Amino acid sequence: MDVTPLGSVIGARVEGIDFDAPLDDATLAGLSKALLEHQVLVMRAPDLAPGQHLTIADQFGDTEVHAFFPNLGEGFERVSVLDSEQGNVASMWHSDETFLPEPPLGTLLSARIIPAVGGDTCWASTTASYEALSPNMKRYLDGAMALHDLSRTSELAYNTGNGTAESYANALLSTRRFEHPVVRTHPETGAKALFVNPVYTRALKGVAPDESRAVLEHLYAHATGARFQYRHRWQVGDLVMWDNRCTMHCVMRDFVGRRVMHRVSILGDTPR
């Protein structure tokens, strides 16, 4: 297995893996080590079937049925389908499902249909962005908590004319919300990372609304700076795995045509 860095702080290409069979112990250990070091791993698996996709993900931990994305159906409920023709293009910066008490550890995303131009995905390292904060900001964030709320997605849709008042109201009545530390400690590396995002984070706890908005907007702009990013141009058959505990990502909505991805996410732990 060969690992080649693709960016200075995030991203690596991994070659020499046979996905036709379950990963052996050495390969699994090598991938796990590379994921901790590079946070985003780019691989080629052009013949990957949904069952193989699940088998690989299951070797890293238990996998989830996604909170709202459609899936492949009976027997493959854990394989989510992100189809641009159904409006499933995650084009705002986010970490996955942070409204859950235990957000996903990571995700494996398989490219099935890719437009001729555009539709890249960008990832940003939130460990690198945390490390680059000023000492004063680090002290301010120490011990801070934030509320993460699934209804934020309905709010954003409503505010941009893509959602209804009824769907927004129903979302506000749901219980899909949870508080997490603004700075979480990675359970395996011990590194600190920012853990807020524009899609699901509603507010900082215990501060005035205008202060919360100002601080969060600063953190979003800082954390998604170009120096912390890796941008991936997809090919059909690409398989990308990322660590959701220390990254954000977004899709470039700059394409014409259809974009279809299969996604499997691994259950995580409570951020601390």
Of the listed 38, 222, 262, 263, which one is catalytic? Answer: 263
Query: How far, in Å, are 65, 114, 125, 215 from residue 26 at the CA level?
Result: 28, 32, 26, 43
Are the beta carbons of 205 and 216 closer than 8 angstroms?
Answer: no
What distance in Å separates the CA atoms of residue 41 and residue 3, rounded to the nearest whole number? 9
Positive or negative, the Cα torsion across 17, 21, 26, 27?
Answer: positive
Of the listed 66, 78, 94, 222, which one is catalytic? Answer: 94
- Is-catalytic flag, 149? no
- Pick the closest to residue 67 from 91, 103, 93, 121 (CA basis): 103
Cα 33–238–59 angle (5° rounding)?
40
Of the listed 245, 249, 259, 262, which one is catalytic? Answer: 249
Are the beta carbons of 195 and 184 closer than 8 angstroms?
Answer: yes
Around Cβ 170, how many Cβ atoms within 10 Å?
12
Terminal Cα-to-Cα distance of the chain (whole angstroms): 33
- Is-catalytic flag, 263? yes
Task: Estimate to the nearest angstrom the gap between the alpha carbon of 163 and the chain centroid.
Answer: 23
- Is-catalytic flag, 249? yes
Of the listed 38, 66, 78, 96, which one is catalytic? Answer: 96
Q: Which residues are catalytic?
A: 94, 96, 249, 263
